[in-house]
Structure 1
Amino acid sequence: MPTIRKNLLQLLFSGAYLLRWNDKLRPVELQEIDKQAHKMLLACALWQENSRDMPAPERTALGQKIIEGGLFDYFYRCIITDIKPPVFYKIKENPEHYRQLTEYVLGRLEPVLAPLGPFWERMRAWHLEGAGEDSLDRRILTAAHLYASQWEFQIIRPLNGFDDEMDSIGQSFVERLNTLRGLRGMDSLLIPGTALARFANLCGQLRFQIRWTQAPRIPATSVLGHMFIVASLGYFFSLGVGACPARSVNNFFCGLFHDLPELLTRDIISPVKQSISSLPQLIKEYEEDELERRILGPLRKEGFGELVARIAYYLGLEVGSEFQECRREAGAVVAVDGFDELQRRYNRDEDDPKDGQLLKICDWLAAFLEAHSSIRNGVSSPHLVAAEARLKGKLNESRLEPVLQLEALLADFD
């Protein structure tokens, strides 16, 4: 069974420190973890479109390959972050040089990822064997990667007119994305103004929403980066509890989408939400109305009904909360009475199960990492210290602590 340790959490969080385009003039800091979240949101949309006609087991298997491939690439990039893309692509053209670089990267990652057992072995095979470069999962990930990178490029381009690299970089994005137009959904994604392009743009904007606005932190993580951390933790804990493939996939994407409504309302801190008894329900109703008006309705109108249904499932719209365990029965979404019942009775692909409590714990754990990291970096405040202690207490006292061994994990952070 995979073992979740402090060094894995630190590796996951390290993308919050890694700056992108750091040799260019930037209007805002662009962080690796935000780009990875944007990439995986787009990969989810492309997965849905390109697996429409697949049997459920094949569809789930493709989803798991996309998730793990995204994580494999992310961990690799955390090590090679200082290598500029043109240099990296040049290295990749020489099989021997690329193999040597990859062996070095895997050597750095092994102490952290080897405790994950089969996941680590699959990662080694992904990078060393390099088979199936034209496989559907890799093409989807490449398309999502290029789109998310191009989205960032469009932000910095107007400020870098003096830079003679900008034209060639821009043309390279266009050429490489055009080679992937064979994927379903790519034409819609690449045409400005379509519902899918607007959805992709809105997702990218979540990098501008900084969490904990009343408590300055280093690093100042965004809502988008937080979503990626929750998704990754959800996936690794799913492996840890022996979740079936469909449940593992659902948990990753639920974590990835869980704060999407904050695009419409901003990140409202808990004390404000609780200041008026009716405010949480009012916020939720507003979020759902705006989700329908700005995201789900337009996507449905342009033929992306299956994607809308999956987003609704991840957000728990049919059962009242993204943190409510649920499953599917005869096409309908049904609430499940807690983690224990889901684990005991519905941990099967045919039930399309999704966790709730487990993902809430991942949300708390990601917030704990954000507070703890800033305090250890020397940027603290009474609010941040109190939040770290409160989150640690909630995690240690949670009903799933014995299952997830949270107390032992958090003890490493003392």
Structure 2
Amino acid sequence: MSVIIRKSLLELIFSGAFMKRWNDKLRPMELVEVDKQAHKMIVAWLLFLLNSRDMDVARKRALGESIVEGGLFDYLYRLVITDIKPPVFYRIKENPDDYRTLTNWVLQQLRPRIMPLGEDFLTRMNDYLMQPEDKGLARRILHAAHLYASYSEFKLLKSINRMDHELTEIEESFVARLDSMRDLEGVSELLDEDNNVLGGFARMCGRLRFQKRWSQTPRVPETSVLGHMFIVAAYSWFFSMEVGACRARRQNNFFSGLFHDLPELLTRDIISPVKGASQEIGDLIHEYEIRELNRVVLRPLKEGGYSEIADRLEYLLGLEVGSEFKATVCRDGEIVVAAESQMAGEYNQDSLDPKDGPLLKVCDSLAAYIEAHTALKNGISSDQLHQALFRIRSRYNEIPVVSGVQVSALLADFD
């Protein structure tokens, strides 16, 4: 069965922007599921690179695939059970029959929306969710990343919930469980984030939850730059499945989506009309982003002994070719810009490490379209939102198919 991405799946992935976390605690800001998932997958990527250093290419690709798919399976599951408090959920997991009953119900709820992804995807998701006792490397990396991202949220709440009787127990649980995973390379550094460049980088990425997109436009829900990056990453993965991307291309597309707005740590979310006001302004902003990215992120990683992470970030962000939205491959040790037709043909092979920039741009635009469309549907009337929908529709009416994705037909489903 071929994979066909539909509106319902895109909206399901976006729905994590509505889902509140730590809903029984006093919160300095709303914490939502999609932000936590983004932070989790960023940390999972860091641990993936560090723990696959000595693997051959095939094993590394297989591990990357398992981490991305496992993260998406966890997220889809969480979208259904997000209101169950963790202690209750852990008690359910201790009883195999109860856990199986709950998981079967979750899969029934998800099935209508994820069926277009094909029976193979459904089977892999079922196998993954039905085996929570699996202690393979991918599952352990995801679990460590989950604990780190959740603990990061907890530390935001800690100072204003001092009278909460659960506070000490929750923190001790996080620390003990993360401590037990120090055999994974990188976990010790994450726990010592004040004195280590890797931990500092992971914490810095989490700060993107503070930056709201469309900051001058009221919206429901508000989305952060952090959550938006995860939504784009998930879209990139599923559209890569639809167009038959090879394993390396799928992973590169996902992780490019996960980091594509990383420079906004340094510039904030500059809206498209400002960036596009003139070539000079666009070039000035881009030049500032790259200079600060090197100063604040890439150079410290390289000087701290994490050159492979910095180098990979440079490739995912398209720094050598001037944009993350250009298609690239690595040929004979050089990064080469590729034509769209080549990505679907001769360059669609793992050995070339392909990355689909135009597909990433489609996913970025679709995420922005759904943000605006959802806000309007929820009763927020704004010229900026209407103009954004018009701009995106107009662009893909002129170019209806990009990288094999029928973008204009997909947008027509939202009318």
Q: One-letter code of the match for 1:302?
A: G
Shift of 1:401: 4.8
For the Cα contact (< 8 Å) 2:341–2:403, is it kept in 1? no
User: Who is 2:352 aligned against?
Assistant: 351
Shift of 1:334: 1.5
Q: Distance in 1 between matches of 2:396 and 2:197?
A: 39
Q: Distance in 2 between matches of 1:276 and 1:90?
A: 58
User: Who is 2:37 aligned against?
Assistant: 36
User: Who is 1:22 aligned against?
Assistant: 23
Q: One-letter code of the match for 1:108?
A: Q
User: Who is 2:138 aligned against?
Assistant: 137
Shift of 1:26: 0.3
- Alignment of 1:112 with 2:82, yes or no, is no
> What does 1:331-370 correspond to in 2, within 5 Å?
331-336=333-338, 338-370=339-371
What SS does structure 1 have at the residue aligned with 2:30? coil
Structure 1 residues 282 and 334 mapped into 2: Cα distance closer, same or farther (>3 Å)?
A: same
User: Who is 2:266 aligned against?
Assistant: 264
The more displaced of 15-24 and 263-272 is 263-272
What SS does structure 2 have at the residue aligned with 1:159? coil
Shift of 1:343: 1.4
Shift of 1:395: 2.8
Q: Distance in 2 between matches of 1:339 and 1:65?
A: 27
User: Who is 2:228 aligned against?
Assistant: 226
For the Cα contact (< 8 Å) 1:15–1:31, is it kept in 2? yes
User: Who is 2:126 aligned against?
Assistant: 124
Percent identity, please: 55
For the Cα contact (< 8 Å) 2:26–2:160, is it kept in 1? yes
Shift of 1:271: 1.8
Shift of 1:408: 2.8
For the Cα contact (< 8 Å) 2:359–2:402, is it kept in 1? no
What SS does structure 2 have at the residue aligned with 1:345? coil
Shift of 1:290: 1.1
Which ranges in structure 1 are unaligned for 5 or more consecutive residues? none
**Deviation string, structure 1 residues 336-369 (Cα, Å, up to 9, x no partner):** 1x22112111100000000011110111000000
Which ranges in structure 2 are unaligned for 5 or more consecutive residues? none
Shift of 1:276: 4.3
User: Who is 2:280 aligned against?
Assistant: 278
For the Cα contact (< 8 Å) 1:319–1:335, is it kept in 2? yes
Q: One-letter code of the match for 1:78?
A: L
Shift of 1:115: 1.5
- Alignment of 1:165 with 2:166, yes or no, is yes
**Aligned pair count?**
412
User: Who is 1:400 aligned against?
Assistant: 401
**Deviation string, structure 1 residues 147-206 (Cα, Å, up to 9, x no partner):** 000000000010001100000000000000011111111111111231111111110000
Q: List structure 1 runs of 4+ shifted beyond 6 angstroms.
A: none
Q: One-letter code of the match for 1:73?
A: D
**Deviation string, structure 1 residues 21-63 (Cα, Å, up to 9, x no partner):** 0100000100100000010011111100011111111111111
For the Cα contact (< 8 Å) 1:365–1:395, is it kept in 2? no
**Deviation string, structure 1 residues 288-345 (Cα, Å, up to 9, x no partner):** 1111111111111121111111111100011111001101123221111x22112111
For the Cα contact (< 8 Å) 1:18–1:32, is it kept in 2? yes
What SS does structure 2 have at the residue aligned with 1:278? helix
User: With structure 1 as the length reference, what TM-score do the two structures score?
Assistant: 0.97
- Alignment of 1:53 with 2:48, yes or no, is no
What SS does structure 2 have at the residue aligned with 1:193? coil
User: Who is 2:303 aligned against?
Assistant: 301
What SS does structure 1 have at the residue aligned with 2:404? helix
Q: One-letter code of the match for 1:374?
A: A
For the Cα contact (< 8 Å) 2:400–2:408, is it kept in 1? no
Q: One-letter code of the match for 2:209?
A: R
In structure 1, which of residues 323, 332, 340 is the aligned counterpart of residue 325 of structure 2? Answer: 323
For the Cα contact (< 8 Å) 2:342–2:348, is it kept in 1? no
> What does 1:167-206 correspond to in 2, within 5 Å?
167-191=168-192, 192-206=194-208
Structure 1 residues 217 and 124 mapped into 2: Cα distance closer, same or farther (>3 Å)?
A: same
Q: One-letter code of the match for 1:252?
A: F
Q: Distance in 2 between matches of 1:387 and 1:110?
A: 32
**Deviation string, structure 1 residues 204-246 (Cα, Å, up to 9, x no partner):** 0000110011211000101111101110111111000100000
